[in-house]
Amino acid sequence: MSKLQIFSQVAITCKDAIATEKFYTQYFGFKRARVAVLPGGDQIVFIKMGDSAFYLEIFQAKEDSPVAPATNDGYQFPSVRHLAFKVASVDAKLAEIGAAAPITLGPLNFDDYIPGWRTVWLADPDGRIIELSEGFVDEENPPPLPA
């Protein structure tokens, strides 16, 4: 079996692609990496997270959402539940973002599960849920996947 090289990107469809790009570049350190102009004039904008190899691929929506906006920490049916980012301080990041991203849940402390783990969920300009967390660390010996 051939191994994957890297997790590359997440494609998102946006009500206002420009507002979404500005949000992620201003508050999460993404920068514009490429614009692909498609036949007919539509564009795909790729924004890259810092010097990593991770991109958000931004598409302009062509129709309204058939489902209500997500609440709390995201949809409870099969879907992408939320996008998550690690931060040094949840409180500092909340102060930086201010009213640009309303809180949908939290902040909550998860010390009972992982000491020092603290999380909050926000809505981006499209209502997509974003998780900000501090203090999450990998488990030394996680249990194996059941057979």
Express each pLDDT in 94-142 by its tens digit.
999 999 999 999 999 998 888 899 999 999 999 999 999 999 988 889 9
Whether pLDDT at 146 is above 80 = yes
Architecture of domain 8-62: Roll (3.10)
Hey, where are the domains in the chain? Answer: 8-62, 70-140
Whether pLDDT at 5 is above 80 = no
pTM: 0.88
Contact assessment for residue 131 and residue 72, using Cβ atoms and an 8 Å cutoff: no
CATH 3.40.640.10 for domain 70-140: no
Mean pLDDT of the chain: 93
Average pLDDT over residues 2-30: 91
CA 81 vs CA 28, 31, 37, 102: distances in Å: 19, 24, 29, 17
